């Protein structure tokens, strides 16, 4: 495990202040699309190896306990029941819905005694899964970390799955949701954006800089081409028409199940390992409970508006317009250089969905004073940034302490 570090940026580019545009990490390396087969071959090999280890572990355990054929059959039946039975994921912390729209609910996690200070708004991912990842369990909760840090006025956007009525919602509609939420909070808030919620928070902060007290971005791509991750190369090779067909097959929405399958494709060995570990630990009640809790969130998918999804594919993943300074929302250019609020950036060293360079690109694009821009890197992957014990124990507390200090009124 690499050493944990919290590194204030000592230098940031002054390009934004001069009216230019920030350096784009991937510009020099873009050329012919890189083939995907080496990635898929490596993932397939890892998947087969993981499966072999899992089979060996199960049979070693079965032989060790003297399992008869009927015992093995019973194991298979119980495994199947646990693996396929899913419940709707729940929020771990008591909350109240204070604002509703067709696209989202605004949930309040406020302490009853908290009446002063700048409120904090968490912009959860809209990635085909429930927003409750930010409040995953009593032991693994960003919301709880915020309250423990002293942030008593905590709110979160809970995105709703797309329907036929909302399939044509676009980026302007999502910015309008943030407008309504921030207005309900008094007109100014600390924004904390996770994954897709992070680039949405950055876009909002650039469009409405006066409404943002601090901006925290975790595991969110800002330079979508930095590091040339598999997702970006898939978009490059398959082309927008492929994703248009997926949306058409979904009746105008991007099916959450299809999004989930795409994430599994990136790291199939993780899915294989998870299932075989369950098979080998069917008698471990705590492990089974952890498995059920994660699968309830991971496999309970929700659809994304087709218009928003295709806009994201075209303008962000393919054309990288956000970091280039070419993105327009509602006719207005999204200039990240308008952001002057303190910025916290959190990335995972082993994040194959959003490599650290994609997150940290924001540092060179904003006009925030260098002493007020902080980078932190965990040793884990993507989901660990939001619900991993290392991130919640070592990284979020100092970030949130800084947010609290800047929120006193």
Residue 347 vs residue 31, higher pLDDT: 347
In a domain, 363, yes or no: yes
Backbone phi and psi for residue 129, each to the nearest 5 degrees, phi listed first: -130, 170
In a domain, 64, yes or no: no
In a domain, 277, yes or no: no
In a domain, 77, yes or no: no
Number of C-alpha atoms within 13 angstroms, CB side, residue 353? 23
Distance CA 392, CA 409 (A): 26
Residue 102 vs residue 297, higher pLDDT: 102
Q: What is residue 260's predicted lDDT score, i.e. its pLDDT?
A: 83
Tokens of 7: 């590194």
In a domain, 127, yes or no: yes
Mean pLDDT check: name the lowest of 129-138, 279-288, 303-312. 279-288
pTM of the model: 0.83
Q: How far apart are the first and last CA of the chain?
A: 40
In a domain, 273, yes or no: no
For residue 9, pLDDT over 50 is answered with no
Q: Indicate the number of domains in the chain.
A: 1
Mean pLDDT of the chain: 86
What mean pLDDT do residues 234-249 have?
A: 91
Q: Where are the alpha helices (DSSP H) in 86-189?
A: 142-148, 171-184
Q: What is the pLDDT confidence band of residue 179, given thresholds at 50, 70 and 90?
A: very high
Residue 108 vs residue 262, higher pLDDT: 108
The CATH code of the domain that includes 166 is 3.40.50.1820
Mean pLDDT check: name the lowest of 28-37, 109-118, 125-134, 311-320. 28-37
Q: What is residue 53's predicted lDDT score, i.e. its pLDDT?
A: 66
Mean pLDDT check: name the lowest of 53-57, 68-72, 178-182, 313-317. 53-57
In a domain, 210, yes or no: yes
What domain range is 190 assigned to? 5-32+91-255+304-405
In a domain, 280, yes or no: no
What mean pLDDT do residues 52-59 have?
A: 67
């Amino acid at each position: 495990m690499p050493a944990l570090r919290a590194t204030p940026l000592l230098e940031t580019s002054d390009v934004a202040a001069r009216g230019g545009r920030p350096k784009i990490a991937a510009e020099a390396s873009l050329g012919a699309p890189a083939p995907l087969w080496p990635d898929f071959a490596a993932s397939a090999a890892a998947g087969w190896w993981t499966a072999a280890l899992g089979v060996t572990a199960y049979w070693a355990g079965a032989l060790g306990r003297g399992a008869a054929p009927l015992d093995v059959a019973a194991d298979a039946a119980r495994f199947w029941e646990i693996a396929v039975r899913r419940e709707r994921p729940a929020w771990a912390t008591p909350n109240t819905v204070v604002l509703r729209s067709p696209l989202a609910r605004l949930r309040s996690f406020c302490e009853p005694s908290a009446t002063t200070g700048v409120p904090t708004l968490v912009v959860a991912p809209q990635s085909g899964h429930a927003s409750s990842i930010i409040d995953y369990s009593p032991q693994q909760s960003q919301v709880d970390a915020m309250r423990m840090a002293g942030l008593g006025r905590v709110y979160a956007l809970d995105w709703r799955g797309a329907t036929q009525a909302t399939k044509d919602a676009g980026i302007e509609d999502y910015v309008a949701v943030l407008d309504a939420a921030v207005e309900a909070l008094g007109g100014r808030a600390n924004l904390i954006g996770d994954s897709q919620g992070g680039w949405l928070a950055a876009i909002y902060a650039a469009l409405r800089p006066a409404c943002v007290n601090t901006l925290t971005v975790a595991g969110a791509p800002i330079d979508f081409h930095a590091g040339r991750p598999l997702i970006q190369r898939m978009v490059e090779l398959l082309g927008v028409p492929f994703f248009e067909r997926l949306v058409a097959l979904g009746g105008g929405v991007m099916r959450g199940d299809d999004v989930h399958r795409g994430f599994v494709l990136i790291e199939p060995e993780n899915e294989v390992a998870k299932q075989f570990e369950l098979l080998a630990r069917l008698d471990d009640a705590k492990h089974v409970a952890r498995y059920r809790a994660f699968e309830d969130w991971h496999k309970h998918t929700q659809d994304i508006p087709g218009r928003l999804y295709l806009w994201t594919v075209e303008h962000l993943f393919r054309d990288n317009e956000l970091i280039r300074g070419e993105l327009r929302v509602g006719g207005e250019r999204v200039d990240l250089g308008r952001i002057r609020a303190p910025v916290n950036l959190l990335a995972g060293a082993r994040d194959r969905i959003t490599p650290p360079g994609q997150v940290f690109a924001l540092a060179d694009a904003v006009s925030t004073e260098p002493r007020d821009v902080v980078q932190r890197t965990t040793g884990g992957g993507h989901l660990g940034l939001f619900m991993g014990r290392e991130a919640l124990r070592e990284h979020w507390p100092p970030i949130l302490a800084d947010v609290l200090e800047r929120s006193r009124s």
